[in-house]
Structure 1
């Protein structure tokens, strides 16, 4: 039997941002094609990660909350997730950068990168046997090091600040997916493969995973639109 829960989560995540994209002051609709390209570049490795973890039983999906259509082990809604969530995030970042001066946040670039790398390294060394924790830590450290030391981007702190602003939306979406407000989770996690520390119903790894995905979406969007420093 079809259930639209996960589909509606994706829909309500993206609909307001999508409609606002056509505002003449924003005109984000002119960048739809470039967004699709940049988000696809990021989505490919994350989807492969998703498929691998699903096959290994690190996490799995309750198909009662989906249309029941699967592609490569994943519900069709999960594929849409890798476009809907980044769209809302990139759109929000784009608007905040367009209408507000946030350059002052850049002074925290070094602090954020070095603190994050140290904390994540400790977590990775202590809990290396937990695959979700370890892979999330490694990918995030590599992402931060690349952006800061190789690509030399000065907007990491700015993006981190925007990510904090997006936290209420993160808790709403991921909260429902992990079991808040509904009888059982849409996404279930193997307790042996993550720390077991939850923010409400959300594994703490999800916040780090989402942060990395957010940074990479911003990076490739800026690169493709030539709007980067």
Structure 2
């Protein structure tokens, strides 16, 4: 690995750690809010832990998606100006995302196990897999936005709206979605890994054709 490649890899590693730092600060702010707004102080600790885990798995996926979407428009030109190649950027994005995902996964697994919330362990693992897939998809979306403009975000908004409706329906119909997911962890991981590989390959090809902005 050349010095320029090492420098770009280090830069993306730091970016992933900074993303984790933002997550920690956001969760700390939310914990203070939950503490101040709580009516029942008897089970306050358990309530906060559940909220931290629930928001954590959602934020892990959402943050990785958002940062991946803005990667081609935000970081690429900066890293290219450092002398990095497109290949270095592709590898660097993977380093950044997996640094963020692994740190999150370790933290939330430790929290769930040490507090007796072992039911969250498969959910956290699924969230990590989902975050990796979301990052690969986000990279592709980022390149499409770079090419077609921010109007492409309307497509994302429509998809997000459909997912919101789906989540609401599962709540209204009292469908144990998490229970269904826990029973199909293996299949979900296999499908996610295949999709991850396909979207990463697509992202790599788009990155090769992308112009510096």
Q: Common fold, TM-score beyond 0.5? A: no
Higher helix share: 2
| TM-score, scaled to structure 2 | 0.30
Higher strand share: 1
For the pair shown, the structure with the greater C-alpha radius of gyration is 2
| TM-score, scaled to structure 1 | 0.29
